[in-house]
Amino acid sequence: MAVRVIAVDDFDLVVFGGTGDLAHRKLLPALYFRDLDGQIPDAARILVTSRREFSSGEYRTWAEEALREHIKDLDDAALTRFLGRLTYVAIDVAADAGWAELGKILNERPDVVRAFYLAVSPDIFGTICAGIGKAGLVNANTRVVIEKPIGKDGQSAKALNETIGKVFQEHQIFRIDHYLGKETVQNLMALRFANALFEPLWNAAHIDHVQITVAESLGVGGRAGYYDTAGALRDMVQNHILQLLCLVAMEPPASMDADSVRDEKLKVLKALAPFTPELVEKHIVRGQYKAGASSGGAVPGYLEELGRDDSLTETFVAIKAEIANWRWSGVPFYLRTGKRLATRVSEIVVQFRPIPHSIFGSEAGVITDNRLVIRLQPDEGVKMEIMIKDPGPGGMRLRRVPLDMSFANAFKVRNPDAYERLIMDVIRGNQTLFMRRDEVDAAWQWIDPILESWSATKDQPKGYTAGTWGPSASIALIERDGRTWSEENA
Ligand code: NAP
């Protein structure tokens, strides 16, 4: 099946942090694939900066190595064309050198779309925005892309947004959450709003509960220093998991227009029942992994990786969240994420209520309640679990089968990485899949009391053995309600 490619307008993309991990693993491969598919206009340029003293030729060699490492079958002609688009300009954003050269190159084409991608630590977002403003590089066609984390609490997020807002207007700011660029996440919207089937059932009368799991099997490894200042709640829940929750729970927007969608997501965030210290104690479990086994080998605990034994940072969190509105009243949303868990899987499970009455005798077997499973990784796909009659003449025996739509198998096309779509949306100026400032504020408003409560109690996170599904308290959190975590990928 051929992929439909809609060309974007001519652009100059400037990547700050062009020698970093994100550029290496995600941005360069994403841009290569868009170029390979013919989406990037002939004249489009990619300008890359960092402090390193590279010539453009040296950077192209570095970029080629990155692409060879991350992409199996590179097309030689496409590679040459793509590398030819790259120009390197050395800039230490804290100093003055380099900005004039960048300005000179950009001002050769003042009328094309100009996008700045800040693939750097958030500490220097403000400095870069100020530098861009001072160098006079913002025009009507300019956009800026901000990576997570946006602040470490509501106050710091506000300060950061204000700093960026001094140079860019809200419609020019693209706060990226790459989960929103995933094929399945967008399919969640297609599923809900392009089918008449689900909407009548999509409420407390028919849905028992929702689970959102983002599980990683890896530990923090070399990122322990950074991770220790964040933790699972800030790193995963404040952004990715709450965004997924919004897409499951939001009312149908009037259109796919960016503000229509974001208005509805904002309403969900504002309807999240707030946490008091008592509710934090009752409905939230935080954990920290201890030494254990992963992929068959022994692995160290978090504190050993960190090299300190006094960290209270959580590498796991499970939350029973509630949305206080008509649609979702009484439907728990169980959220959980962690490192060094039993497997790497991200999925949303929508668990429907039981049938009201069974007409089948005990010989038919157990009737399992319907579930809709939306899998984000490792294999993107959607699965509806329904009961059918076991085939054959053995009487009326029932069994659960998945109506499975694995995208990789269903459509014989490469599944594009989220960054491919999101970068092209930036060039198009389409903010639908990017977070608006008030969404970030509302998410922090819900998260802040949890952080404050943890910091007041100074309780040690509950230990869990690496390679398991987290602390036993997380299992108790859901089983107390007579439910279980969905762990069939384990
Ligand atoms: P990284 O590997 O540490 O790269 C940082 C980049 O910033 C390097 O290119 C570095 O190059 C440049 N830099 C640092 N100080 C600079 C300065 N004063 N002036 C100019 N350039 C400077 O970081 P990363 O992992 O790519 O992450 C970048 C951003 O993306 C962060 O906000 C991160 O939270 C976010 N993010 C990353 C990932 C990921 O998978 N890596 C995923 C999601 C979000 P020089 O040292 O040569 O200057």
Residue 182 marked as a ligand binder: yes
How many Å lie between the centroid of ligand 1 and the Cα of residue 121?
Answer: 5
Q: Does residue 354 belong to any structural domain of this protein? A: yes
Distance CA 467, CA 70 (A): 27
DSSP count for the chain of H helices, then E strands: 18, 18
Give 48 Cα–ligand 1 centroid separation in angstroms.
12
Q: What is the pLDDT of residues 142-181, one digit of tens each?
A: 999 999 899 999 999 999 999 999 999 999 999 999 999 9
Q: Residue whose CA is closest, atom 21 of ligand 1?
A: 50
d(CA 137, ligand 1 centre) in Å:
21
Question: For position 323, what pLDDT does the model report?
Answer: 98
Is the pTM higher than 0.75? The answer reads: yes
Confirm whether 423 is domain-assigned.
no
Tell whether 122 and 254 lie within a shared domain. no
Chain-wide mean pLDDT for the chain?
94
Q: Where are the beta strands (DSSP E) in 104-165?
A: 113-118, 142-146
State how far the Cα of 381 lies from the Cα of 378, in Å rounded to an integer.
9
User: 51-86: string of b/e by CB count within 10 Å (b at 16+)?
Assistant: eeebeeeebbebbbebbeeeeeebeeeebeebbebb
CA of 476 to the centre of ligand 1 (A): 39
Both structure tokens of 275 = 């946490």
Domain assignment present for 160: no
Residue 167 belongs to a domain: no
Q: State whether 39 and 139 are in the same domain.
A: yes
Residues with CB under 6 A from ligand 1: 17-22, 25, 50-52, 91-94, 119-122, 124, 147-148
- Specify whether 191 is located in the same domain as 142: no
Quick one: average pLDDT of 239-251? 97
Which element (helix H / strand E) includes 455?
Answer: helix 437-457
Q: Which residue spans within 163-315 are E strands per DSSP?
A: 173-176, 207-215, 284-290, 292-294, 297-299
Cα separation of the two ends of the chain? 32
CATH of the domain at 272: 3.30.360.10
State the total domains in the chain.
2
pLDDT in tens, 407-460: 666 667 788 899 999 999 999 999 999 999 999 999 999 999 999 999 999 889
Spatial distance between the Cα atoms of 82 and 66, rounded to a whole number of angstroms: 13
Q: Is residue 428 part of a domain?
A: no
325-364 pLDDT tens trace: 999 999 999 999 999 999 999 999 999 999 999 999 999 9
Residues 137 and 250 in one domain: no
Check whether residue 333 and residue 410 sit in a common domain.
Answer: yes
Same domain? For 68 and 185 the reply is no
Which H or E element spans position 28? helix 28-36
Domain boundary among 128, 147, 166: 147
Tell me the pairing of strands 381-389 and 371-377.
antiparallel
Same domain? 299 vs 220:
yes
Confidence of residue 9 (pLDDT cuts 50, 70, 90): very high
Helix crossing, 242-249 with 183-193: angle to 10°? 20
We report the CATH number of the domain holding residue 135 as 3.40.50.720
Give the nearest ligand 1 atom to 94 CA: 18
Does 118 map to a domain? yes
C-alpha distance from residue 198 to each of 190, 203, 271, 348, 479 (Å):
11, 10, 22, 15, 27
pLDDT of 296 reads: 78
42 is annotated as contributing to ligand binding: no
**Which residue's CA is the closest to the ligand 1 atom numbered 12?**
17
Q: Cβ distance 54 to 88 under 8 Å?
A: yes
Q: State the pLDDT at residue 490.
A: 40
Domain that holds residue 109: 11-147
Q: Is 240 a catalytic residue?
A: yes
Q: What is the mean pLDDT of residues 249-259?
A: 97
Judge if 200 and 77 occupy the same domain.
Answer: no
Pocket test for ligand 1, best of 51, 54, 116 (most atoms within 8 A of CB): 51
Of the three residues 92, 126, 147, the one that is the final residue of a domain is 147
Say how many Å lie between the CA of residue 22 and the centre of ligand 1.
Answer: 7
Q: What is the number of the ligand 1 atom nearest to the C-alpha of 25? A: 40
Annotated ligand binding at 104? The verdict is no
- Ligand 1: residue whose CA is nearest its atom 39: 22
Neighbours of 5 (CB within 10 A): 12
- Amino acid letter, residue 260: S
Which numbered atom of ligand 1 lies nearest the CA of 176? 44
φ, ψ of residue 243 in degrees (nearest 5): -65, -40
Same domain, 329 and 393: yes
Strands 371-377, 345-352: pairing is antiparallel
Q: What is the pLDDT of residue 489?
A: 42
% of the chain residues with pLDDT over 90 = 88
Last residue of a domain, one of 127, 147, 167: 147
Residues 11 and 19: their CA atoms lie apart, in Å, by 21
User: How would DSSP label each residue in 310-350?
Assistant: -----SEEEEEE-B-STTTTT--EEEEEESSBSS-EEEEEE
Say if 429 falls within a structural domain: no
Query: Which one-letter DSSP state was computed for residue 425?
Result: H
Q: Whose CA is nearest to atom 6 of ligand 1?
A: 17
Q: What number is the average pLDDT over the span 241-256?
A: 97
Contact 3, 413 (CB under 8 A): yes
For residues 287 and 371, state if they share a domain: yes
**Sign of the Cα pseudo-torsion (52, 56, 59, 61, in order):** negative
**Is 210 inside a domain boundary?**
yes
pLDDT at 3: 65
**Whether residue 118 sits in one domain with residue 190:** no
138 and 234 assigned to the same domain: no
Q: Which of 58-62, 119-123, 388-392, 393-397 has the highest mean pLDDT?
A: 58-62
